[in-house]
Structure 1
Amino acid sequence: MSAGSLFAQEDAILWRAENALQWGDFRAAPPAGKKVAATTASGLSYNYSGKGVGGKYKLDFQVDAFFYPDKSWYHPDLVDSVILSHEQLHFDISELYARKFRKILSQRVFSENVREEVKELFAEINRELSLFQDRYDLETDFSRNRGAQLEWNARISRELGKDL
């Protein structure tokens, strides 16, 4: 039997389809410069236990996407509902990658090095997530390209709808 975990912060907000972020959820103090309107800190957390024989392990696991209020901030005079939807999509993208990680864990048979294998998979998912988040910001110009923002909103909504 093997077990491992990476837990979210105590005050983190668990992703739920019915719970949209509000500006009140962004509790960190914004930096003095006003070049960026808002920042969303979100990420993945997991825990698991493994059962197996003969060096082949299947996992019982939980993977969640979280928003971190104490690391997320905004400048009230620079934001609007479009920017809030942009920040929400960062959180939604984290949920998409939580689903991707769940799928990988559910389909994989692990060796006796299950702990190291899960850590490597988690690191790879986080690399992919980071690149995807960067691409989202680049293509939407941080929500300033309203047409691209609407396209991303529709795309992520479709992706989230596939697994619900």
Structure 2
Amino acid sequence: MKKIGSLLFFLSLFVCSVQAQDLLVYESESKLVWADFKGEPPKFDSAGARISTTIQMKAGKVNIWTGSTTYSAWGIMFPRHSWVKKEYKDDYTLNHEQLHFDISELVAKRLKIFINQQKVNSGKKVATEIFNRY
């Protein structure tokens, strides 16, 4: 039984590390490079490049006196769903795609400020509704 528990533990670590490689968390001191774009361009897409981004939010501390939860949020890029055509690998296009990623982070920061000002203490439903509005 102990061996099965150890095996499951290491398997979960492996799955987490594979999932972590499939996304890039926004860092203000790091800018995108073309190597971050690992997807294949679709044959019939007229765009020169595309970045796939989203925001993620996580519940953190819960105030034991008020029940309100503190949230964090951040921008995410999906490298395997982001791509560039060879003829568009230039600084202008990379800066344009970086701007999309910057906007994702800006929305995440605004979400974090807004939701924490609401002092959400009624659970997941209210937090999910606020997240979906953003």
TM-score when scaled to structure 1? 0.64
Q: Which amino acid aligns with 1:85?
A: N
- Determine if the alignment matches structure 1 residue 78 to structure 2 residue 57: no
Q: Does 1:59 find its partner at 2:81? A: no
Q: How far apart, in 2, do the equivalents of 1:123 and 1:34 lie?
A: 28
Q: Which amino acid aligns with 2:129?
A: E
Q: What is the CA–CA distance in structure 2 between the aligned matches of 1:34 and 1:100, rounded to whole Å? A: 32
Counterpart residue number, 1:115: 124
2:8 aligned with 1:15, yes or no?
A: no
- Over the residues paired in the alignment, what is the CA RMSD in angstroms? 1.7
Q: How big is the shift at 1:111?
A: 4.2
Q: Unmatched 5+ residue regions in structure 1? A: 1-8, 126-164
Match of 1:139 in 2: none
Find the residue that maps to 2:43 and give its secondary structure: coil
Aligned-partner Cα distance in 1 for 2:28–2:63 = 31
Counterparts in 2 of 1:85-104, with a 5 A limit? 85-104=95-114
Q: Which has the bigger relative contact order, CA under 8 A and spacing at least 6?
A: 2
TM-score, with structure 2 as normaliser: 0.77
Give the match's secondary structure for 1:10.
helix
How many angstroms apart in 1 are the aligned matches of 2:90 and 2:99? 14
- Considering only CA atoms, is the larger Rg found in Structure 1 or Structure 2? 2
| Cα distance between partner residues in 2 of 1:120 and 1:15 | 23
Report the alpha carbon displacement of residue 61 of structure 1 after superposing the two structures with TM: 2.3
Q: Identity of paired residues, percent?
A: 25
Question: Which 4+ residue blocks in structure 1 deviate beyond 4 angstroms?
Answer: none
